[in-house]
């Protein structure tokens, strides 16, 4: 930043030096007084015109930026106050596993830079997008890498629709991942097991609920629901909003990534967004749930 500032100052000094030199040349070389006066006035006008013009334009840009920042802040605060919430109708204890009704897919860098990518940036986690079985892993550290006072237990198994259920393997419409004890974040140990029927009583689903107005301000809305698969009852719902504070200007892209953005409701750890919510509703049989 200091180098750019030094270059700007140098360019500005050269600009005024050229103006002064040209003014001196006109006054020195013009043969008649009226020519000297006219030439000097012309040089002064030209060299003063652009700084004034640039100053007006810069002021307009700064005022527009301030107005936009205020609009972004107001819109986000309105969403957080009026719409964001966690609603829990029923808490279930001793849950062994969960069915991921709509597995997330790993977002590309292009998608994470796309202002209108409808992949629920609020609830999206790269790990879960690539490996749904991450819900097997106990969350042991907080967002700063420090050990949690209360560990969020994962589940003994996770189920999902089989990617082959409608094509090569219609007999087995689902897959299951089973954790190995002791569970830990070893992402390559679990293999998907084809199954004919679900063991899970409860499922989790998500939707991107962003509006065009939200996305205009680089705000993304997401809804996650926990559903009783037997009764179709929604037993819990989380609606939240995710703000890209850089407004798409993040160095290196990845505007919808977890780093530096603001969420409401906030997360204890952005690596465990889904597990944090589930641990308030479906208490794992492996241990006490969130906040216990």
Are the CB atoms for 263 and 242 separated by under 8 Å? yes
Q: Is 17 helix (H, G, I), strand (E, B) or coil?
A: helix
Are the CB atoms for 221 and 238 separated by under 8 Å? no
Task: Tell me the per-residue pLDDT of 238-249, one tens digit each, with 9 for 90 and over.
Answer: 999 999 988 887
Are the CB atoms for 263 and 122 separated by under 8 Å? yes
CA distance 9 to 203: 61
CB-based burial label for 177 (10 Å; 0-12, 13-18, 19+)? buried
Are the CB atoms for 165 and 172 separated by under 8 Å? yes
- Retrieve residue 277's tokens: 């919510």
Q: Inform me whether the pLDDT recorded for 61 exceeds 50.
A: yes
Which residues, other chains included, contact 274 with Cβ-Cβ below 8 Å and sequence gap of 6+?
123, 125, 128, 135, 204, 224
Selected residue with higher pLDDT from 55 and 70: 70
Q: Inform me whether the pLDDT recorded for 291 exceeds 60.
A: no
CA distance 66 to 115: 20
Which value, to the nearest 10 degrees, does the dihedral of the CA atoms of residues 105, 84, 69, 247 take?
A: 0
Among the listed residues 257, 263, 258, the one whose alpha carbon sits nearest the alpha carbon of residue 243? 263
Total-model pTM: 0.75
Where is average pLDDT lowest: 1-5, 119-123, 124-128? 1-5
CB-based burial label for 119 (10 Å; 0-12, 13-18, 19+)? buried
- Retrieve residue 176's tokens: 């299951």
Are the CB atoms for 262 and 84 separated by under 8 Å? no
- Retrieve residue 151's tokens: 């560990």
Where is average pLDDT lowest: 24-28, 75-79, 108-112, 201-205? 24-28
Where is average pLDDT lowest: 22-26, 65-69, 255-259? 22-26
**Domain boundaries along the sequence of the chain:** 2-75, 85-284
Residue 102's pLDDT is what?
94
pLDDT band at 287 (very low <50, low <70, confident <90, very high): confident
Residue 184's pLDDT is what?
47
The H or E element spanning position 177 is strand 174-178
Residues 64-70: contacts with CB under 8 Å, at least 24 apart: 68/247
């Amino acid at each position: 930043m200091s180098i750019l500032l030094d270059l700007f100052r140098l360019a500005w000094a050269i600009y005024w030096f050229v103006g002064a030199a040209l003014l001196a040349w006109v006054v020195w070389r013009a043969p008649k007084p009226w020519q000297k006066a006219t030439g000097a006035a012309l040089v002064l006008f030209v060299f003063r015109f652009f700084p004034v013009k640039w100053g007006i334009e810069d002021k307009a840009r700064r005022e527009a930026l301030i107005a936009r920042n205020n609009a972004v802040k107001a819109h986000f605060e309105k969403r957080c106050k009026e719409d964001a919430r966690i609603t829990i109708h029923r808490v279930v204890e001793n849950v062994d596993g969960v069915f991921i009704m709509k597995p997330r897919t790993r977002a590309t860098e292009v998608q994470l830079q796309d202002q209108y990518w409808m992949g629920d940036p609020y609830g999206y986690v790269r790990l879960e997008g690539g490996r749904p079985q991450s819900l097997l892993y106990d969350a042991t550290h907080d967002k700063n890498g420090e050990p949690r006072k209360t560990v969020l237990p994962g589940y003994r198994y996770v189920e999902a629709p089989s990617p082959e259920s409608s094509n090569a393997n219609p007999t087995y419409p689902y897959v299951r991942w089973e954790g190995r004890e002791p569970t830990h974040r070893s992402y390559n140990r679990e293999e998907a097991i084809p199954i004919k029927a679900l063991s899970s009583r409860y499922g989790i689903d998500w939707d991107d609920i962003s509006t065009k107005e939200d996305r205009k301000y680089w705000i993304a809305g997401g809804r996650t629901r926990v559903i009783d698969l037997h009764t179709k009852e929604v037993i819990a719902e989380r609606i939240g909003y995710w703000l890209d504070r850089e407004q798409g200007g993040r160095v290196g892209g990845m505007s919808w990534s977890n780093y530096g953005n603001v969420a409401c409701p906030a997360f204890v750890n952005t690596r465990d967004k889904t597990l944090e919510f589930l641990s308030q509703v479906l208490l794992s049989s492996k241990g006490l749930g969130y906040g216990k």
